[in-house]
Amino acid sequence: MEERLQKILAKAGIASRRGSEQLIRDGRITVNGRPITELGFKADPAKDTITFDGKPLTFEHKVYVLLNKPAGYVTTLADPQGRPIVSDLLQDFPERLFPVGRLDLDTEGALLMTNDGELGNTILHPRYEVKKTYEAWVAGFPSAKELGRLERGIEIDGVRTRPAQIRVLKRDKNQSLVEVIIHEGKKRQVRKMFQAIDHRVIHLKRTAYGKLRLGSLARGKYRILTINDLKKIFSQKIPFTIKNILA
Ligand code: URA
């Protein structure tokens, strides 16, 4: 089946769709021996020979893993400072898995890792409004009024956050456990939201992408996801079918 070149490259795990467009513009892709720099170009991976920097594309299996990231691990593929990185926990996989979104160094919990650039981009694209659930232990006891401000949207670094769902799960001696559901991913968003109402986040964990929950997965462990797991992430119809999955 013919598809746009950037889509084929993303499916082969070469780069995100946008990153693939840049590779095309840079003249690093050929189809049947001819360099292609035009973004609308279509090819059929089953019939055409497509190369990236001279090497033919291979369509490796897509792997989707849900990792329970521990605090102290950096969400990156390499760290110049030599700190532990999330890929250290996924050494069982020969595929190069990259994180879908990021968690701060000091945040733990659900982190999806995959070699499927197309699915990764869809999860991160604002249009699909994938909900992310966090549990935050925060200092003190935020009032209903303060939490209402977070629910309606609050200004952070000059930009208003989208409406959020907020629920107090537990109160301790001097701190509260608050569940926060958002579908944005601004840098340190949950921490900054609570900072804006003067309740510092003491501990932060992501517990779900959509309805895909971390559950009882132990810290530092992962599980391989099935198609049914992946479907739980989305509340809207996605524009492609998930296939070629190793699970
Ligand atoms: N919000 C934060 O503040 N930190 C994260 O790691 C994720 C969301």
Query: Do 40 and 144 sit in the same domain of this protein?
Result: no
Is there a contact between 102 and 62 (Cβ–Cβ < 8 Å)? no
Ligand 1 atom 7: residue of nearest CA: 103
189: Cβ below 6 Å to ligand 1? yes
No. of helices (H) and no. of strands (E), the chain = 6, 17
Measured over the CA atoms of residue 49, residue 16, residue 88 and residue 60, the dihedral's sign is negative
Q: 98: domain range? A: 64-127+215-246
Query: Do 72 and 193 sit in the same domain of this protein?
Result: no
Global confidence as pTM? 0.78
Give the ligand 1 atom nearest the CA of 206.
7
In the prediction, which pLDDT does 15 show?
Answer: 78
Query: Do 44 and 113 sit in the same domain of this protein?
Result: no
Residue 243 pLDDT grade (very low, low, confident, very high; cuts 50, 70, 90): low
Q: What is the pLDDT of residues 20-79, one digit of tens each?
A: 899 999 999 999 999 999 998 999 988 999 999 998 987 767 889 999 999 999 998 889
- For residue 120, the tally of other CB atoms under 10 A from its CB is 23
188: Cβ below 6 Å to ligand 1? yes
Query: Do 104 and 84 sit in the same domain of this protein?
Result: yes
Q: What is the pLDDT of residues 1-25, one digit of tens each?
A: 899 999 888 877 777 788 889 999 9
Query: Do 116 and 71 sit in the same domain of this protein?
Result: yes
Give the ligand 1 atom nearest the CA of 191.
3
190: Cβ below 6 Å to ligand 1? yes
Which residues, in sequence order, are CB contacts of 215 under 8 Å at separation 6+? Answer: none
Q: What is the pLDDT of residues 149-171, one digit of tens each?
A: 999 999 999 999 999 999 999 99
Residues 29 and 74: their CA atoms lie apart, in Å, by 32
In the prediction, which pLDDT does 240 show?
Answer: 65
**pLDDT at 245 > cutoff 80:** no
- Return mean pLDDT, the chain: 92
Query: Do 96 and 30 sit in the same domain of this protein?
Result: no
| Residues with catalytic roles | 104
Number of domains in the chain: 3
| Torsion angle in degrees (nearest 10) through CA of 66, 111, 117, 20 | -160
Query: Do 69 and 115 sit in the same domain of this protein?
Result: yes
Query: Do 174 and 194 sit in the same domain of this protein?
Result: yes
Give the ligand 1 atom nearest the CA of 185.
8
Instruction: Supply the CATH number for residue 93's domain.
Output: 3.30.70.580
